[in-house]
Structure 1
Amino acid sequence: MKFVKDSEWLLNHLNDVDVRIVDCRFSLADPQKGEINYRKNHLPGAVYFDLEKDLSGTVGDHGGRHPLPDMDVLVKKLENAGISHEISVIAYDDGEGAFAARFWWLLQYLGHSNVYVLDGGFKNWLEADLPVTPNVPTFKREDFRLDLRQELLATYEEVKDAVSKRNKVLIDSREVKRFLGIEEPIDKKAGHIPGALNKPWMEGLRGGRYLPISEQSERFANLDSTQPIIVYCGSGVTAVPNFLALKEAGFEKVKLYVGSFSDWISYEENKIESSS
């Protein structure tokens, strides 16, 4: 796969000076847990990036629960971690896939193309009895060239236009019950953006590993690969595994609505569809 590497690949490149490993473990239920676990042990040479402190911005009236971070601030953090465009980067989480994918998408958006996700994450790494360490590394500061790829980002205005004109495919990546509005454990309203299709993100993985390209293609067989696609979820995190899977399956015109459903419902005038 183009954007996913397995543990064997990483083990062979573990000591390469031009490879940087990023630990993205996080728990929405316990936001401190990821960093605490990182301090206990992590892959050798891994640096830690926190979903809410590093990979998201300040929550406001609009923008969703995990808005984009300040890009200048993020770039400085990348530079301090020794990451430049000449460095290959591979991110991992506990094996859920979504948190590492969020980092992967952000670096793609920043213009860094040599970035990957570790298949199976930390859980698979431990199960294979591969090395871990509590040692926190330091790296020489590098220069990161910011080159935003706006074609990867769907703005609120673009989503609103797509709902009105039905000229783009909207993919809701949440589980079926949330898509249908049967239950909503997080956001203030239940349902989905009008006209959206449901492609639950977790169906693109099996045991924490991404399905092979042939099976990803089957998941999206009812879609036209030439039509523009916008993926979203609740807050722009779990939609990214679908973004990655679509890219692996050969879909080129794919964008992420970072604000996602939590941003959509922050505008009182917006309509919502549900099964009720």
Structure 2
Amino acid sequence: MVDVVSAAWVSERLGDVRVVDVRDEWEFDGIGHLPTAASVPFDEFRSTEGDVGMLPGRDAWAELLSDAGITADDDVVAYDDTHGVFAARFLVTALLYGHDPAKLHLLDGDFSSWNREYETTTDASELPDVTYEVTTAEETPLVGFEAVEAALDDPEAVIVDTRDPEEFDEGHLPGAVNLDWRELVDDETRGLKPRDELESVLESVEITPDHRIVLYCNTARRISHTYVVLSHLGYDGVEFYEGSLTEWEARDGAIVRE
């Protein structure tokens, strides 16, 4: 599944992987970026129709990745400058559009942490002229409104709200546990906390491999990071509610307010 890789791992493979920078274009051009990186700003792979933050559509996705010099056979590493939360959304989008999850990697840390030890550049990257072919994933973590509603009564399911505690208190799904996605990252290293700390945080809210895990937030950005972390830790059966609270509330799903 999708994994998290170190800066050293990426540095050794810059010529063999496709690197994607999802920061704003002005950051990519003005501040600098990883060598060989392609710029695919976050706003470009969100839907411009309907609910903000939803998937961009198969054709739009294929065009974006083609322009970035990526093929469906490439190993891809994504990064941002926000602990990986926007980059994780890129990777989960790729997963949902059929890219092999074993070829999807999140940089552990972000641009700022990379910049402490490794080279950056403001030079334009030379990108190959390719065509990205979207495929249909053999398996998908996506679940819809009805599946999540049914999961509320499943004693084996843990419904996980990855927003911050204040948002959680303002309204959440019945029975949901709150795991702010930022609890999984270290502010100093800007990457993930050590594995034992991650497992301790997860276990504290009953997120364990023997449970069915259903993730949601507002528009699926924050759950993308949590999904990647759980995938990296080897969790199976993690479900991804793309519609999240945006759809849940629009369809009058039950809400608990603290």
The question of 1:65 aligning with 2:52 is answered yes
Decide whether aligned partners of structure 1 residues 36 and 101 sit closer, same or farther in structure 2, where only a CA change above 3 A counts: same
The question of 1:174 aligning with 2:171 is answered no
Match for residue 219 of structure 1?
A: 201
1:75-154 matches, within 5 Å, as 75-112=62-99, 113=101, 114-154=103-143
Q: 1:235 deviation in Å?
A: 1.1
Contact 2:162 2:216 in 1 (8 A): yes
- Choose 147-156 or 199-208, whichever is displaced more: 147-156
Contact 1:39 1:136 in 2 (8 A): no
Contact 1:75 1:146 in 2 (8 A): no
Q: Match of 1:22, SS?
A: strand
1:3-42 matches, within 5 Å, as 3-14=3-14, 16=15, 18-25=16-23, 34-40=24-30, 41-42=32-33
- Choose 158-167 or 73-82, whichever is displaced more: 158-167
Match for residue 194 of structure 1?
A: 174
Contact 2:215 2:239 in 1 (8 A): yes
Q: Match of 1:262, SS?
A: helix
Match for residue 38 of structure 2?
A: 47
User: How many Å separate the matches in 1 of 2:118 and 2:234?
Assistant: 34
Contact 1:110 1:149 in 2 (8 A): no
User: How many Å separate the matches in 1 of 2:2 and 2:241?
Assistant: 22
User: How many Å separate the matches in 2 of 1:259 and 1:166?
Assistant: 22
CA deviations on 1:239-272 (whole Å, 9 max, x unpaired) are 11211222223320002112211221122x3221
Decide whether aligned partners of structure 1 residues 219 and 59 sit closer, same or farther in structure 2, where only a CA change above 3 A counts: farther
What code does the residue aligned with 1:273 have? V
Q: Match of 2:250, SS?
A: coil
Calculate the aligned-residue CA RMSD, in Å. Answer: 2.1
Q: Match of 2:42, SS?
A: coil
Q: Normalising by the residue count of structure 2, what TM-score does the alignment of the two structures yield?
A: 0.88
User: How many Å separate the matches in 2 of 1:82 and 1:129?
Assistant: 23
Contact 1:84 1:145 in 2 (8 A): no
- Choose 164-173 or 196-205, whichever is displaced more: 164-173
User: How many Å separate the matches in 1 of 2:155 and 2:42?
Assistant: 32
Contact 2:81 2:111 in 1 (8 A): yes
User: How many Å separate the matches in 1 of 2:208 and 2:27?
Assistant: 42
Contact 1:152 1:256 in 2 (8 A): yes
Decide whether aligned partners of structure 1 residues 249 and 57 sit closer, same or farther in structure 2, where only a CA change above 3 A counts: same
Contact 2:97 2:136 in 1 (8 A): yes
Decide whether aligned partners of structure 1 residues 266 and 134 sit closer, same or farther in structure 2, where only a CA change above 3 A counts: farther
Decide whether aligned partners of structure 1 residues 163 and 65 sit closer, same or farther in structure 2, where only a CA change above 3 A counts: farther
Q: Normalising by the residue count of structure 1, what TM-score does the alignment of the two structures yield?
A: 0.83
Q: 1:237 deviation in Å?
A: 0.2
Q: 1:224 deviation in Å?
A: 4.2
Select which of 239, 243, 247 maps to 1:259.
243
Contact 2:2 2:104 in 1 (8 A): no
Contact 1:213 1:248 in 2 (8 A): no
Match for residue 186 of structure 2?
A: 206
**Percent identity of paired positions between Structure 1 and Structure 2:** 29
Q: Match of 1:265, SS?
A: helix
User: How many Å separate the matches in 1 of 2:118 and 2:208?
Assistant: 42
CA deviations on 1:46-81 (whole Å, 9 max, x unpaired) are 112222222x11342xxx431111022202321332
